[in-house]
Every structure is written in structure tokens, then in C-alpha cells.
Structure 1
């Protein structure tokens, strides 16, 4: 057969009339994967997958397709997978013992799945139209066998690849396969060792151990698929570009960490040298010094940083992360928080300290992350999607969670960027209870298998390692006494300087009373006869508007001085940040006495955690008790009052939580904990909310016992996300009934269905750019998109990054939104956005994030 193998195409640009050869693409992909995999002990596995992933593109039909001469090129991903199962596997058949050969068969699955899934995750066990269940991996391998045997070039190409491997990597495919097997066996042992640290609930129950093992095996598949996606997409999206996207080398990262670290230390030098610092600032600096010292001795693992509200944990955790990165040569620092408002504020503060260069702020995907088709993900739009290559990523818990569990190409690529990273999760207590088990398992995998260091920052630790309440606890690193490692001295965290507010109940003596709008407004106005500022936090946007309107009406009707401010995520990030900044300025004037007019803010929970703002009195509509403590951090935050501020718990009659079952259960657990600790309480008696926290979380976990594994409603095979990502028990049982035999593979997960089903919050919104003081940026987008269908992707990317701060989420856009379909960009018409209330047209969710 006379084939010019070196001239076969992997990609073709019809406009440029040039292509990329298969030999160049598979080599680039394998080399990139090898660099990533080496730090994990998976170098040979990564090289092998990279070499094999596009083997099917040598098919003569696919070569016609890539040149535009045919409508389809067939399943090119399946050929490399078939080579693993029917060529490489057979080589070891007679050279190893039967038991070892069985392990090779399991090892094959971890090579086969990433190759088959590199253009999209799939369910290993899949429900067919007739209701039967088939093993999709087995089906695709059989279909590819017919394809391969019918095309001589496909049966021959394995030998060509073997020659290329020898030339490029000084080893044969078979030797790579054997070296990869040794790597996989070591990986398997490391997983079993990790499970051994998981606590009594896992170790004493065989089913729990098996479920944990299969979850971690599934996470391994996600990791290998993510590494392949990153290398494959990077090379495919960049081969025709004059200037490739930057990939940071180790020495470049070391220089970045040094520069950023020096910037942080200059700030702390000022703190250390300050004359007559307040007691609060003394304690804050001492805590940050403790965390800094701990960074040099806490290599990968999960740690808690339970600093009190207002203790400066953002700066302290940043300082820790940079010192850790310099010490252990980490690849990336990721700061994630649950609330957009906290990210908006802290991102600015962080960039003011360490600079904006080498920092990516990523809280919304202006360009949709999903890919339309097999080759579409390699077109220019992929260049615009955030792959988290920047050394420092400032993001939301939603985006981090999508990276851990969703199936889009960009999410899988980001997953590979978590290797050897420092991940700071701020306000970890905000993690929805339904995600606790899958999150704990994934965090264990990140720290023990991917070399990540995770810091849980919060003033209210949610007991994620509670072995009595949780089947799958988070594995925190332990000290010699068996307690979680302390990054900060406990005596500093208990300093009296942090007791700046007292908590009171408006729930009646038995914690059952609701307030009407009129009662709530009357109580607020009574407080403002003596105080100058009040913050009211409710749980829905409709409730915010109702309370806001009622206060505005009351002020007008009683001719009383007062200014009311509205704050929800209907305002885009830039709008919110501007409003919060202005409020801070006015509140400072109240503190100084240069302003007399009282200020009232009505907000959703977006302001309740982490926002550095200071009110005299705070009202919190009750859901979680940790949320009450977080809200308390907005009361007398700087400790400048002569007497403590006051925080009032209440339940709002005109606010319904019926469509928010998670919040409803949080409220129930809070009320039960209060009754358990106090029995009854009069309004004038202060509450110790911190004393109720452990009881609250125990009750919350037990109340949600059936929900901790993330329930999913999905037809006849409805089960939990944890089941889908591990045993997939129901479908495996159906397979046995239909085939009268067990599933032929260890892996049987519903990877695609689970990825599609996962939502950190029930969010079906689209990210929409709104018109708010950004006309020039929007005009620039249209100019760069152009009319010729050939956008300037390199110039568009920084513009779209700037536009992240001008987005909101909508799920019913109707006629109010313009679409740039080729990029998946949505733009809101001007009449849909209001200077006071933000988004006014279309429909939006009641989400608190």
C-alpha cells in the first residue's frame, strides 16, 4: 500500500488553504500531555494516549471529509482505542501471569475512555431506545473493528505510529504500554491508600469502599480526558495562529510567584512597622504571620483556615498561597468564593496588591462553554474560552464546580489545570448540602492524587470531616495528635476583639414567629431613631423589591430623612461594585459625623459574606445559622462603635421558600438547633450563634441524609450523582438482566448524564451582556466580529474578559436579547436594563449566588 503517511492531514483551514499534518499534531499532543503527566507519575500513559487519540484520521474517508469532499469522516476516535484493546493488549497475553493479564484489562479502560471521549464525554452504560442497557465502550470498539478491517490504512497505521514513537520518544508503543501499566498500578495503590484515610464509615463498609474506589477511578478518567483535551485543543486551536496562547514554563512561574510574593510582603512590612496599630490590626497581622509560616511546611493536602469574620482572611490566604507556590513550585493559585459580590470586591483588592498581569478574573462565561460539534471546538471560538492557563485565577464556586463536574470542553481543560495548584475556597460553608459527598470525594482526589493544596476559608466551619454525620468525609491533614492541622493559633481566633456585634431573635420565644412587611419596616424605623444605618438581608429578589418599596413608601409618607439602596444580582457586577463602593463612602461619612441622613440597604445574600461594609444594625431573614454569623460581619465591622452592633434574626411572611427546598431545610435545621440549645428566648436576650453551629450542621446533614449524594431525577434510572459517577448500580443490574452476564468493564459510569445533570445551583440561565456604561466595549465587540464571518479572535479575547463585569444571568430572554450566534454571545437591548434596579425585561432566577 503506497501511502504518504507524513502528508495526511489532522486539520485544514479552507481560508488559508493550508493544513496541519497528523504526524505533527499527535507529536505535539503527546509531548504536551507528557509534560503535564510527568508531575503525576503518568508520563508514559499520557504519551500513549496522545499518540493514539487521532489514529482514525488516517482513514481515507476522513481525509476526504477534512478537505470538504465528504459530509462525514466517521468515528476517528475509536481506532486508537481499538489498537489498545486488540493490538497492544494481545502483545502481553503470553508474557504475563493470568492475574496480571486481568489487571492489564482493567488498565486498558483508563486508556480507552479518554481516547473515545476526547470529543465529548459518554455514558459507559447507556440506555437504548428499546429500554435495554448496552455497554457503549464495547459497542464502539466492535463498530470500529469492522471499520478497521475494511480499511487497509487503518490496520497498517499502528506500525507507522510505532516508528514515530521510536523516533520521537526513543521507545516503542508496546514499551510505552508496559511502562504505563506500571504507572497505573502505582496510581491504583495510591487510591487505595487514600481510601484508607477516609474514616470509619468508609473503611468498615465494603459497599462504601467500592463506591469510593469507583468514584476515584472515574475521577482518574476525567483527569486523563482533561489532559488530552487540554493538549489536543491547544494544539488544534493554535497551529494556524501566528501567535500561540501562552503556556507558562516552570521558570516563568517561579518569577511570577517571586514578584507577587514580594508585593504582598511589602504590604505586610507596612503592617509590621505601623505606629500604634489598633488591637484588631495587631491580631490580623499575627494571624497572617502564622499562616505564612505554615505555608512552608504544609505541602499538598486539605487544610482549614477558620478565621473570624473581619480577620483579614483574604489577604492572609493570598499570602499563604504565594509563599506555598514559591516553596513548592506550584503551577497555579485559584481563589474561589461562593458570592459574586465577594469576588468582585476581593478580585479588585487582590489585583491592587499583586498586580493585574498574570491574573484572570473569571466569574461568567461570556462565550458559551458548550461546543456545537466535533471539530467546532477547534475553531477560533475555542480561543476565546477560558482554559485557566493564567497563574492566578479569581473565580466563583460555580465556575470551580463546573470545572470539577461538568462535561464541556473548557471545563475538562480547566480540570487539568488544577494539578499542583493551591485552591483557596472562601466561604466554604456556602457549599450546597446536596454537593457535600461528591465535593468531599473530589477534594480528596485533588489533594491526594493531583498534588493540589486546598484551603477552606470560613468563619463558620461546616464540619465537612464529621465522620458521624457524613459517609464520605473530607480528609483534612492531621497533626501528631490526630487533629486537623491548624494554620493559625487558636487563641488568636478567639480574641475578644472579634466580638463586635450581638445577636437577637425576632422569632418569638419558641422561634416560630413571622414578621409582615409592615412589622419589619416598623422595627427597622424604630432602630433608626437611635442608629444611622441598617442592612436588611432577605433571600429572594422579589422580597428585596417588596421591602425596598415599602421602606421608600414609609419614608415618603412620614416625611422622614433616609436613603434606601437596592442590591441584587439583577445588577451587573460593575453596577453592584459601584453601588457598594458608594455605600461604603456614605457609611464612612456617617461614622465620621459628616453625614446625618440615615442609610438603609435592602439586599439578597450577596452582601452577607465577605463584603467589607459596616452598618450599625443588620437584619437577616433566617435560613442557615452560618449565614446569620456571616451577616453579622457586616455589623460594626471595624469595631468603631462604643457599644456592639445589633443583628436581628427574623422570618419574613412575604418571602416564600417553597421553590427553594435547600434553603427551607437550612431554616428548619436552624430553628431546631436554636430550640435544642436555648429552648426559648426573649427578644431582649442576646443569642450565642456560634454555640449553636455544630448542632446546626449535624441536624442539617441528618435532615438531608438522602440528599447528600446529589439526587438526580432521570427517568427509570433516577439515582444520585454519586451513584452515576461510581457504581451506577441500577443500570448495571439492568445490564445483567438483559445480557445474563455482568458488565464486562470495571468502569460503568454515566459520565455524560452526570455532567449534564450537575448544577451547583439550579441554574438554567444564559450569561447576557447588559448595557451599563460599556458602550465602547460593546461597539468594539461588533467591530472585531466583523461582517465577513471571520472575527479577530486574538483582539476579542481581552475585550470579552473586560465585559464579564457587565453580565447578568437570564433564562427567558425572548425578544430582549441580541445574539452573535457564531460565538455564543448574548447582548441585552438597552430598554431591558434600569439604572436603579438593573435587569427589568425577561425572566431571571431567584438565586442567591
Structure 2
């Protein structure tokens, strides 16, 4: 093979075409941070190692383009994943470095090219091994650099010019990063690491899109969407005290959209209509500043379901092939980078994206390429964090520094939207605090009168019902039964664990058989939870007596109102969120009652954050009892919540940089990487590798878990639509593009389960792959319950599904 036109990237696509396509797409994606030329260069160089004769023999043999009797035939199964085709491009870039700036640029681009299949590689591992340097000096026989170089001769001048232009692009980026307040060398290294990850994200997404035969989703007309929103808002009636306040909040958000992009807070009491108010801000702000998309980042999938549906009903979203709104619930594709899940993973290119805290953080810090692929779409956007206090404490500094990066370099506007604002701007500045945008004469808060809002929207009273001997599950059921009275016709109980919620529900079925009892948990798929909530809402509207038992999924973003709420002891912020489900619209004749109780049968050893939060809430309850005036007489008011966060953050400040084994932290591994440097010096006589970036990116990614027990998505056969989707995914008749659409639809029928639970279900033959090696699993029907969702005992009451 002598001509470039004889070389293929995959069946039916020439390598030259693939390189050109990926180059153009990567350039387009990277332009949002001013790295257009860098994107063009790495896109073209990323797969030049595929020009090797060995790779060509492999790919043609694997796809039966070479007969087994042909002299060039290769054992494809033995070579799969073993031919290095990414190092050649990385080495080409690295060899072009000269001075300090060009060296930084060269390393950033070399890392992106070398990492586009594996995820970001280490520069220096925690045990002091020089990973990046060895990759850049890897022998020609294994990288096929010389072979690749022969095919670049005609483009040498153009590519060299692109490298020089890439160096020129870095100076403005460095100036933007230097503008971040309180910048120190550690945080600067952290931001350079995020810049590298961003460039890699652009490359990975471009590569996956071209490989799957997909194109980026077209941008929407914000003007048209805004007109639809405003027409709907104009029909909302300000006919009650609460609705008048909601209208005032909405109008304030619209006016605030004129402000420049920045980092802002929106502090609105529960029930204040912050979802639509923040949407109104986001749409006007996006239109005013020509931004690309809007993200809603929420703590629970239940919030995605309701909020996305609410927004969809207002804006309309009728084209399933080009959706305005994406709901990204769960990871149906596994973290391991197999060819199918690389192509089918979600990339967040819809105009409005609803996704979870877990998905957001994984896009910034996880290993592999599945989450990383999405990161670049977070730039040049409005990102709204609903209930940011729900973020795990250990990611505080990672989160703060990432948000500063996304604003100062990525040009995005960040909004923290909650009734219970955490003190993210009041933590250790050396490790990274959040830098809210200051406006001359004004604060960064979008609402000018928070205290007045909280007083005006006070609709409940919190009652401390904790006793020395905690309540058993049966006693909790009795407690709820005794609370029924003329003023209390509907009740909500929120437990800290699924086990307690389930057992209280079962006790209530026995003790109050004449009252409708409902159960909600994350073991149920989104459509299942929605079905239960719709039934509960219908009964509430009919004034029927009922009790709903739930885990904390109902605490935020679920528009539902009960006469009374009982909350198992937890953090004061969660108590405030639970209170938002009581007398939500202010329509009750008497003030709503929220009871706090302590449950004796909760097992919280694996949930230390809840245990610590309980201690701080008990401290606040004691202080409130001594002097309620210090808290304006409101246990869930602004002063009480501020005091709670002071206590909670102070005691746990040492956990905020994400500690890992060996005395290291993720913040360090992604920035200065001091322990790795010390290990390297011990091995190499006090010398350090001569590279600008020395982070342990890959190791940090492997250490990173948003929750201590990671989860994976499983599709459940809840109804006929779910069964049809499972059947279609099990079929081999669908193209990659069609399978991708099916996976999007399947998210509404997926449940995230712990890896240990998944292993148990596999041992019971309860879950199966839709296709061999797809990593996409579905559940047998006898393991799914209409009451509890996934049932690990196989006692589910749905009929058995056989495919």
C-alpha cells in the first residue's frame, strides 16, 4: 500500500477522511476556549499510527477485507487493542516544543492525543514512575512513528504552522486563568489539567461522533424558545399570596439576565418556583450573551423527571430525532471503554440538558472516556445547580475550582439555586473557594430581598419530636397513625435508608389497612416513580387520607404538598427541603407541621455524612431551645441554616480535598502531586522530570467516585413500553444510530444499582446483556416489584419476561 487513499480507519471509511472529519469537529468544539488551531491539529494527528502496515493488516483481517489465505492476513483476535496508534501523533507534537510556553502547549496536546482511547494518562504516578516521559520516548517499532511520518510529508508545513498558531492561542487562555482571584501554583496546575481534559474531551467526542456516523445536534433558536416561554408565563395567575411571590421571583430573574456572565446564587425558599424562574433567567441570559446551551444539574433522578417534564410542557419538544431537552438519568453503558459503549455514550449536545450531580462530576474527574467526552459541552453555557448543598463534602474544592475554570476560561455562567446555600465561598482559599461574581454596589445574589422572601413564604412549623429512646419501625408507623386529625389528612414520611422506608411502609399496611399507603425509592425506575406520584397527587386533590413513605429522593424538585411531613433525623438542610413538601402552596387553613424523629433501626455506618449531619442538627436544636431569638424563631430560616453550615463545614474541612489512601488527596494528584514528586526524587537523586505538568490524572480518575459505592444502570421491564425497548435492544436488526436512540428512551426505565448488587443479580441469573459484550443489561421481571422496584429476592409481582 503506497497511497494514503488505500488506508482505512474502519470498513467503508478511509483513514484520510476520518482524520479530516475529526480535525474539523475537534477544532469546532475547542474554539469555545480559543483553542481552534490546537483542536484542528490534534484531530488530524490522533490516529496517524493507523498508517502502519500492521494496523492495516489487522483492520482488514478483522473485517474480512483480507482472506485468511492472503499473505497479509493477521490474527485479528490476538492483535485487538494491542496496536498502539495514538503515540505517533503525540510524539510528533512533543518533538516540536522549544521554549516554556511551547512546551506547555506541546504537553497538553500530546496528552490529549495519547489519551483519546484510555482516558487521561498519568504524567507522574503516585509511586514516582515517569509515565508521560516513557510514552514520549517509546521506541519506533512500537509506535510506528517513522511509518506515520512518511504519510505526513505533504502536510508537514501546514501542520507545523498549526503548531505555532496553537502556541499563540495559549497566551490568552493563561491570561484568563491568571484572572481567577487567589490563584496559587497548586490551583494553576489544577486548571492546566482541566484545560488538558477539556481539549481531550473535544477530541474524544469528535472521534466518537465520526466513528458512529453521527453529527453534532444543531443549535436551537433561543429567540423562538423565549417567545414560547413568555407566552406561557403570561398566562400564569398571581391569584394567591404564594403565586404573587413566585411572580416577583420570576420577574427578578428575568431582569438579572442582563448581567454579564458570572458565578451567581439564587436563594429562594422551597415552593418559590425556582425551576421556572431559573429557566427564565437562563433563556434570557443565553440569548443576550449568545451562549450555546443550558444545563440543570440536580442531585436526584426524580428531580430530572419532574423538572424536565415541567419545562417540556411549557416549551414543547415534539421532535424525538432532534430533541430540545435531554434527560440524562443514568449510565446504561459501563465505564469500561468497549467499542459499543464508546459509540453509544451520551455527549450532552442537546440545547437544554437535565442531568445529575454524579454525571456532572464524572465528566470532570472520572477515569476513562465515557464521562470525559461530555465535558467540553459545559463551556459557553448556563449551568444551574439545583440544591448544590447535596454535593458530597469531599468534592468541595474540586467542585469550586472546576466552576471557577468553567466560568473564567470556559465562559459559562454558573447559578447555585437553593433555599439552603452552602458556604462554598468561605472555605480554605489555598485549596480553592468559589469566586462569586461581584457587581458594583450589589452582591452576587440574584434575589435582592432573601430575608423578606423567607418570612413571606413561611408555611410550616418544625417540631422536635426526638426522644431519648429512638423509634422502632413499628413505632414510627404508630406515630404517623396518631397524627391524623381534622387538620392533617395526608402525611409524608422520609427515611434515611431504603430498608427503614420499606419496613415502615409494610408496618403501615398492617396497622392502618383502611388508609392508602404509598412507597417511593430509587430502586424504582423513573416511569414507575412518576406513576406512583401521579396517583398520590390525584388522591391529594380528592382530599383522601393517605401516607406516602419515601427515601430522600422526594425532598427536592418534586412539586407535591402534604398536610404534614415527618423526617427521620438528618442534616438541617435536608429538614428544610423536606419541609418544602408540606403546605407547599400555602393553601392550608393552619400552618403545616414538620416533625423530626429519631429512628432506632437505621443502619448508617456506611453513611457517615448523615451521622455527622445528625450531630450538627442536634446541636442546632439544642441552641434553638435555649434561645430561639438567635434564629429569628425559625429552625429552618436563613440564620439557622448559616449556623448549621458553619458547624458542619468547620468540623469536616480536612475532608474537602477528597482524601485517598496513603495520605494523598485527589486535589493534590490533580495539581502539585507532591507525594509523587517526593517518591520520584527518592528514586532519581532529587531530580524531577523536566515537564510542566506532573499530575497523576489516571490514578486520580480511578480513585474518584462521587459516591463511595458506585452504581451502574439496569433496564427494568416495568411496562409494555419497557419490554418492547428491551426486545429491540436485544435485536441485531438496528443500526448504531437507532440503538443510540433506543438507549436514550431506555433511561426512563433504568435503575442505578450498586456494583455489588449487580454481581448478586448476575449470580441469580436475574440480569442479562442485551447483546454480547454490549455492557447493557436488563432485568428479569420476577425480580421487579410493583411496590418496591428491584427485588433482589426474586419475589417481584410482574410476570416473567423471556427473550
- TM-score in terms of structure 1 length: 0.85
> Bigger shift: 183-192 or 734-743?
183-192
Cα contact 1:302–1:447 (8 A) shared by 2: yes
2:705 matched residue in structure 1: 759
What is the correspondence of 1:473-488 to structure 2 with a 5 Å cutoff? 473-481=433-441, 484-488=443-447
SS at match of 1:360: strand
Cα contact 2:331–2:712 (8 A) shared by 1: no
SS at match of 2:680: helix
What is the correspondence of 1:276-355 to structure 2 with a 5 Å cutoff? 277-299=239-261, 301-355=262-316
1:77 matched residue in structure 2: 86
Structure 1 position 161, deviation (Å): 2.9
Structure 1 position 731, deviation (Å): 1.4
What is the correspondence of 1:167-182 to structure 2 with a 5 Å cutoff? 172-182=158-168
1:643/1:571 CA distance change after superposition, 3 Å? same
C-alpha RMSD of matched pairs (Å): 2.5
Cα contact 1:507–1:650 (8 A) shared by 2: yes
1:687/1:293 CA distance change after superposition, 3 Å? closer
1:513/1:723 CA distance change after superposition, 3 Å? farther
> Bigger shift: 793-802 or 748-757?
793-802
Cα contact 2:84–2:142 (8 A) shared by 1: no
SS at match of 1:443: helix
2:174 matches 1:188: yes
Partners of 1:61 and 1:764 in 2: CA distance? 39
SS at match of 2:332: coil
1:215 matched residue in structure 2: 190
2:67 matched residue in structure 1: none
1:154 matched residue in structure 2: 148
1:152/1:122 CA distance change after superposition, 3 Å? closer
2:42 matches 1:49: yes
Structure 1 position 462, deviation (Å): 0.8
2:688 matches 1:737: no
Structure 1 position 555, deviation (Å): 2.0
1:302/1:142 CA distance change after superposition, 3 Å? same
Structure 1 position 385, deviation (Å): 2.1
Partners of 1:607 and 1:470 in 2: CA distance? 36
Q: Number of residue pairs matched?
A: 761
1:777/1:599 CA distance change after superposition, 3 Å? closer
Structure 1 position 268, deviation (Å): 1.4
Partners of 1:648 and 1:431 in 2: CA distance? 25
1:819 matched residue in structure 2: 769
2:666 matched residue in structure 1: 721
Partners of 1:468 and 1:369 in 2: CA distance? 33
1:135 matched residue in structure 2: 130
What is the correspondence of 1:114-513 to structure 2 with a 5 Å cutoff? 114-125=112-123, 133-145=128-140, 147=142, 152-162=146-156, 172-194=158-180, 197-198=181-182, 209-238=184-213, 244-248=214-218, 252-253=219-220, 255=221, 257-271=222-236, 274=237, 277-299=239-261, 301-356=262-317, 357-372=323-338, 376=339, 381-467=341-427, 471-481=431-441, 484-490=443-449, 494=453, 496-508=455-467
Partners of 2:741 and 2:42 in 1: CA distance? 33
Partners of 1:792 and 1:5 in 2: CA distance? 29
1:804 matched residue in structure 2: 747
Deviations 1:356-408 (A, max 9, x none): 23221111123335312xxx2xx5x5443211111111112222222222233
Partners of 2:481 and 2:729 in 1: CA distance? 52
2:70 matched residue in structure 1: none
Cα contact 2:263–2:437 (8 A) shared by 1: yes
2:7 matched residue in structure 1: 8
2:508 matches 1:534: no
Partners of 2:120 and 2:259 in 1: CA distance? 41
2:506 matches 1:549: yes
Structure 1 position 629, deviation (Å): 0.6
Provide runs of 4+ in structure 1 moved above 6 Å: none
Cα contact 1:340–1:363 (8 A) shared by 2: yes
SS at match of 2:327: strand
2:18 matches 1:25: yes
1:343/1:493 CA distance change after superposition, 3 Å? farther
1:470/1:692 CA distance change after superposition, 3 Å? farther
Cα contact 1:669–1:703 (8 A) shared by 2: no
2:791 matched residue in structure 1: 840
Partners of 1:174 and 1:12 in 2: CA distance? 27
Q: Which runs of 5+ in 1 are unaligned?
A: 93-100, 164-171, 204-208, 239-243, 845-849
- TM-score in terms of structure 2 length: 0.90
Structure 1 position 492, deviation (Å): 8.1
Cα contact 1:538–1:544 (8 A) shared by 2: yes
2:798 matched residue in structure 1: none
SS at match of 1:368: coil
2:706 matches 1:769: no
Deviations 1:482-501 (A, max 9, x none): x6323223168526431100
Cα contact 1:364–1:807 (8 A) shared by 2: yes
Cα contact 1:534–1:599 (8 A) shared by 2: yes
1:847 matched residue in structure 2: none
1:572 matched residue in structure 2: 525
Cα contact 2:717–2:726 (8 A) shared by 1: no
1:142/1:353 CA distance change after superposition, 3 Å? same
Structure 1 position 35, deviation (Å): 1.7
Deviations 1:398-434 (A, max 9, x none): 2222222223323122101112111111111111111
2:664 matches 1:707: no
SS at match of 1:409: coil
1:628 matched residue in structure 2: 575
SS at match of 2:355: strand
1:413/1:634 CA distance change after superposition, 3 Å? same
Partners of 1:468 and 1:367 in 2: CA distance? 37
2:102 matches 1:104: yes
Cα contact 1:434–1:707 (8 A) shared by 2: yes
Partners of 1:485 and 1:317 in 2: CA distance? 15
Partners of 2:215 and 2:452 in 1: CA distance? 44
Cα contact 1:125–1:732 (8 A) shared by 2: no
Cα contact 2:481–2:512 (8 A) shared by 1: no
SS at match of 1:323: helix
Cα contact 1:617–1:635 (8 A) shared by 2: yes
1:48/1:324 CA distance change after superposition, 3 Å? same
